[in-house]
Amino acid sequence: MIVLARADLKAIADAAEAAYPRECCGLLVGRHEGADAIVVTRVCPSPNVTPDDARDSFEVSPQLRFDVMRALGEGGPERIVGHYHSHPDHPAQPSARDLERAWEPDLVWLITAVAGGQAIHTTAHVLDAEGRQFREVPLRTLDWQPYPCRLPPGPGTGGPG
């Protein structure tokens, strides 16, 4: 289970909307609690420095990652536990490109779907033990409230458009 503050989840959704139609990205800092829970304590936004088309690709700034790792130090309770990115006009599910680039099996992947500029859904994923596919894991906020999914914008959906 991935647990984070509602304000951090909102910050990710806001970043996804601001970056649209490009992918946003950033790092998740936190700690493991027990055998099954990861608590995100901080969201670190990154510029998307991908050399590829940022509409369907992301790369977290290496400088940001270095700076965060240095600030966290070694042996402390917190570490980089994952990253987040958005999928403009695509579902909040890992893509084939995401799987190709998943070389750190212990990191969580938070993915926010953005439809027509509006963040509509966020999911959390981890790699399976063999590193061959992602599996979805529960995502909740610290206040235990379910994360609302919005309807994509457009006619007949109740959303704008």
Express each pLDDT in 35-67 by its tens digit.
889 999 999 999 999 999 999 999 999 999 999
Cα separation, 81 vs 126, whole angstroms: 11
Cα separation, 99 vs 127, whole angstroms: 8
Domains identified in the chain and CATH numbers: 2-141 (3.40.140.10)
CA distance readout (Å), 126 to 55, 95, 96, 110, 118: 23, 13, 14, 9, 25
β-bridge partners, 119: 114
Cβ-Cβ contacts under 8 Å for 79 (sequence gap 6 or more): 29, 30, 31, 72
Strand pairing class (139-141; 134-137): unpaired
Least confident window among 18-22, 78-82, 156-160? 156-160
3-class SS of residue 51? coil
Quick: pLDDT tens for 113-154.
999 999 999 999 999 888 889 999 999 998 866 555 666 666
* 160 has a pLDDT exceeding 50: no
pLDDT in the model for residue 161: 38
**Token pair of 109 as six digits:** 């992947």
Confidence tier at 155 by pLDDT (50, 70, 90)? low
Cα separation, 41 vs 30, whole angstroms: 5
* 60 CB-contact burial (10 Å; exposed 0-12 / middle 13-18 / buried 19+): buried
